[in-house]
Amino acid sequence: MKTLVIKSDRLNLPEEIARKLKGKEVEFIETKEGILIKPIENQIKNARGSLKGSHFSSEKYMRLKKEEKELE
């Protein structure tokens, strides 16, 4: 795949790559082979909604913490 840097502050990526990276933050890492464009994983954003449907609530969490403290 080829692309052309048009301006120093803008990079046009091939459509297939741009689609995969759309809306993601990336970091540029210089290696001896060239420049690596790596998506930055947002752990908090990835975890959001992971407990949905698990019937786990903040009330249940607080109850468990209280029980845990009583056992100490």
| C-alpha to C-alpha distances, 59 to 15, 44, 62, nearest whole angstrom | 46, 21, 5
pLDDT tens, position by position, 10-68:
778 888 988 988 888 888 999 999 989 888 877 777 677 766 777 777 888 888 888 88
Which pair of tokens denotes residue 51? 């407990």
pTM of the model: 0.46
Query: Which one has a higher pLDDT value, 35 or 72?
Result: 35
Helical H runs in 4-57? 15-21, 43-47
Instruction: Give the list of residues 6+ apart from residue 40 with CB closer than 8 angstroms, or none.
Output: 24, 25, 26, 27
Q: Where are the alpha helices (DSSP H) in the chain?
A: 15-21, 43-47, 58-71
